[in-house]
Amino acid sequence: MTGTAVITIAHGRHDHLALQRAGLRASTRPVTTHVVVAMDDPDLGAGASSAPPVQVVHVGRAGAALPLALARNTGAAAAIAGGADLLIFLDVDCVPAPGLVAAYEAAAGAAGRDLLCGPVAYLPPPGPTGYDLGHLDQLAEPHPDRPAPAPGELVRDDEHHHLFWSLSFAITAAQWQALGGFHEGYVGYGGEDTDFAFVARAAGRAIVWVGGARAFHQHHRVSSPPVEHLEDIVQNATLFHQRWGVWPMIGWLTEFEQLGLIHWSGDVLDVTDRSASTEGSPSCRHRV
């Protein structure tokens, strides 16, 4: 790869961004640039250290919701305009292991047509002095619902595109442009990453699980199911069903139905109780 960019979208979580950038400084392979897309957050990225070089791009809200799909597309466009030929997407909660960039670059050389996904390991709450960057691998285990190959191992998967998520993945700039990025009809939380994976599947691209591209997810409070994102999830699930003929996020929809928050039958999905839905920031994803 001649130029590698990391793309991070965020609203708030400035401390998480600071630790992510510390992880990038500890990388065995430097990145060309770090594109930070601030969603309705004018202070995000302010005062960031010079290494790696950072470019902050701002996008506004789409009504009350945060435009996650648009933000990723905006970050990718900025990275490609700057000369990047490999795009690594890391959520702001994720700290890269020292070998993540090198592993994604090597995987792109071997499987450059496909979506490249590294394991994400979840950290416990930090102690009073925060996380020790040098010992994160001793604290966390990969998410049990995603493959976690050994370092140096690539596992090709042509069947389980529903397991793709956008916490940590890489794609060449050429393949990103061929696939067209994320569908910007998805606004707010949920569904846009699964849709992107289904677009890739329809184009004959596999998921390649990249053993050495490990990221560590910083702990933060989440709700389960994420009722604060109820209306976003219902709207985005409906769009997904219209596009692909199947329902995404079945686990969450089932829980919403059990709580009496939605009516879900056949091709019909409606919110029946909006009292539980309040504005919230993007949380980590636990649905399959």
Which amino acid type is present at position 221? R
The mean of the pLDDT values for the chain is: 91
How far is 176 from 140, CA to CA, in rounded Å?
A: 31
159's CB contacts (< 8 A; 6+ apart) are none
How far is 105 from 177, CA to CA, in rounded Å?
A: 18
- Is residue 86 over pLDDT 70? yes
Look-up of token digits 């010992």: 135
Q: Mind listing the pLDDT tens digit for each residue in 131-156? A: 989 889 888 888 888 898 999 999 99
pLDDT value, residue 101: 98
Entry pTM: 0.93
pLDDT value, residue 276: 63
Q: Mind listing the pLDDT tens digit for each residue in 185-219? A: 999 989 999 999 999 999 999 999 999 999 999 99
**Would you place residue 288 in the very low, low, confident or very high pLDDT band (cuts 50, 70, 90)?**
very low
- Is residue 287 over pLDDT 60? no
- Is residue 286 over pLDDT 50? no
pLDDT value, residue 281: 40
Rg (CA), the chain: 18
